[in-house]
Amino acid sequence: MRVAVVGGGPGGLYAAALLKRLDPGREITVWERNAPDDTFGFGVVLSDETLGGIEHADPVVYAALQDEFVRWDDIDIVHRGVHHTSGGHGFAALGRRRLLEILHERCRSLGVELCFRAEAPDPAELTRTYDLVVAADGVRSPTREAYADVFGPSVEEHRCRYIWLAADFALDAFRFEIAGTEHGVMQLHAYPYAADASTVIVEMREEVWRAAGFEDLDARESVERCAKIFSDALGGRPLRSNKSAWTTFRTVVNDRWSHGNLVLLGDAAHTAHFSIGSGTKLAVEDALALAACLQERPTLDEALAAYERERRPVVASTQRAARASLEWFENVGLYVGQHPRQFAFNLLTRSRRVTHDNLRLRDAHFTAAVEREFGCPPGTPPMFTPFRLRGLTLRNRVVVSPMDMYSAVDGVPGDFHLVHLGARALGGAGLVMTEMVCVSAEGRITPGCAGLYTHRQAESWRRITDFVRAQAPGTAIGVQLGHSGRKGSTKLMWEGIDEPLEEGGWPLVAASPIPYGPASQSPRHLSRAQLTDIREQFASAAWRAARCGFDLLELHCAHGYLLSGFLSPLTNRRTDAYGGSLERRLRFPLEVFDAVRAVWPEERPMTVRISATDWAEGGTTGDDAVAVARAFAAHGADAVDVSTGQVVADEQPEYGRSYQTPYADRIRHETGLPVIAVGAISSWDDVNSLILAGRTDLCALARPHLYDPHWTLHAAAEQGYEGPGVAWPKPYRAGSRRPQTGRTDAPRPRLSLGSREQPSTTPVKPA
């Protein structure tokens, strides 16, 4: 096999070395346009996981790296002049130039041909004359761009400028420092990579960079300015550059990673922001996987397909974490008002890979200090601290999210709802929410949706609230009121979600006559008189809800239903006083809110659920969501339940663990309004992390409560918590400990003899 590697960075060099080591008969050539000692950046951080893979694949390279590594455990965070240290993290780094030298030496010793200061031949020629072409030519990969129509690259530039620099001394920890300047917030990321050197990255938002005048400074002046801003971290020492320049980070994603005998590797295939780790780490792991797949699979096509299958999920997970980290630093100005220790915890958990429980294992002392400052009594996880909304005090921060059950008859909740909501109330959550309860028959989503527009429906709801109050004292129950708008008159979810009824349907109304999907019914444009009628339907339903004994009322202004349809510019095309600018699109939802608040008891809280983004171009933005939240707060909303999407059928959500929480986080910090975070929050560790970091006040979970109605009780048991934040119902107390399982341990041997010991030749004396 003849192999061409385009790009002489760590990923390309290591791939070449591995492929040659596994099959010395391969003819392998590496092209690198730069000189051998030209490199971008200074230090490289590798994880123990990556090092383990290198050790197994090439002990020679591993041994050389081991001799060079600088290791440390601590992360230092300096904010508002206060220094906090968190330990137990474990890092290993070395100079990028030294890493390249090690790989150069290994490639030469194996017989790989290295061509420096040489442009690779045209990709078409390479693919014609070589059996395999590995494109490891970086984030701006010319090889990838030559086949952009096949690879489908997406390159996104972000909002911060940064510059790679170095200092001629070794820090004793990974250091993050926040500088509040007259121009805005700037941050430093720094770590040692040799006994006498550290990487120093200075980063700030584009507008801060321009306001500070960096745009007009030459390279020397930029370096001197950065050293002055972060003189405390540097101990007054200077910084140096290596052809360093201010740049913006580019996230690269590709639809495909291979085309015929051409395959992408490292930054050519994907990038992940430097704040969570090294792109070198991903590239080296790519090289390991590619070499293994080529060894294991009988054909090249199968090997390249297996390589992509293996690496794509790992890379996608890393990129999700990297985006969360990147966006945290882009928006670090939101958090500068936090107490320095909570700020440090927030920074450490920013990517959602390090969590409350994980950090407690790494550094129990630091985590306990954050909990004390937050107000956690001894032995109390953050999720079991109380929270007050108006006259209602919730005993913990867990909310059973509204979930449509599609099991009502003529809008009447029956025995199913009693068991469903009753079971979750017994399960320990601080607040249990009903599904969206419709304010009219025409406002239902499906024929199975519950309502609160008749006396009979109200009586059935009263039966449920009475049960919760009697059998689950301390658990609050809330009602969510809504109107389906253009998303109504559809089949039950399991019969065809969002599909229109084939018979027995009803006419739809909406802000504008735009159907939800291609097969959906076209709604009628609401007249002023109809708007008044619907507003009164909401008020009547709220009056009934109060008499039913609900503790909290939530107005549903999300997910493309009627009120959400007024808020989104994609679904509101009105030209009257209820359409156009955001202020005008808010008018009807605020009128409804005011009408409901007027009949809802003063001491009981009222929240609003919104879709903070439509996940579609031209739709609601994060800025809009903040403005919407502020508007409802000004009208008396006690909290905002921050969801996203489901407004238009062609949305493109960016799913992932806790993927909606950044929107709640932003609203909380920009408005000061309490928020409820939702969206793929699945573990009690996530709940503790989000609350302790100050990203949300309450966490609403849906699917976990379908899987386990007693999710909150079990979270308490698993954390060994028995305080007032949760209460086992008396009949269930015998189950408050995890049941024993079958035996998994084996008896320990009575005697253990070393394998190298020789049998004794001394006779045994009888007792």
Instruction: State the catalytic residues.
Output: 561
d(CA 606, CA 608): 7
What is the amino acid identity at position 202? V
DSSP string, 39-64: -SSSEEEE-HHHHHHHHHH-HHHHHH
Q: What distances in angstroms separate CA 444 from CA 411, 508, 642, one per listed residue?
A: 8, 10, 22
d(CA 312, CA 319): 10
Among 167, 116, 145, 170, which Cα is nearest to 5's?
A: 116
Burial class from Cβ neighbours inside 10 Å (0-12, 13-18, 19+) for residue 317 reads middle
Helix (H) or strand (E) holding 72: strand 70-72
Dihedral in degrees, nearest 10, Cα atoms 422, 426, 432, 437: 0
Does residue 25 sit in helix, strand or coil?
Answer: coil
CA-based max dimension of the chain: 108
CB 261 within 8 Å of CB 131: yes
Find residue 409's DSSP bridge partners.
412
Q: Phi and psi (nearest 5°) for 234?
A: -90, -5
Other Cβ atoms closer than 10 A to 538:
25
Among 378, 384, 375, 477, which Cα is nearest to 425's?
A: 477
Alpha-helical regions (H) of 407-492? 415-426, 455-471
Find residue 174's DSSP bridge partners.
75
Among 379, 394, 430, 426, which Cα is nearest to 721's?
A: 379
Burial class from Cβ neighbours inside 10 Å (0-12, 13-18, 19+) for residue 128 reads exposed
Other Cβ atoms closer than 10 A to 746:
6
CB 412 within 8 Å of CB 422: no
DSSP string, 167-195: ESS--SSEEEEEEEETTEEEEEEEEEEET
d(CA 476, CA 391): 12
In the chain, the N- to C-terminal Cα span, in Å, equals 72
Please give the structure tokens belonging to residue 751: 């005697």
Does residue 524 sit in helix, strand or coil?
Answer: strand
What is the amino acid identity at position 345? F
Using CA of residue 416, residue 419, residue 423, residue 429, what is the dihedral sign? positive
d(CA 533, CA 51): 67
Q: Phi and psi (nearest 5°) for 160?
A: -110, 150
Q: What is the DSSP secondary structure assignment for residue 500, as one 8-state letter?
A: B
Please give the structure tokens belonging to residue 574: 């009105």
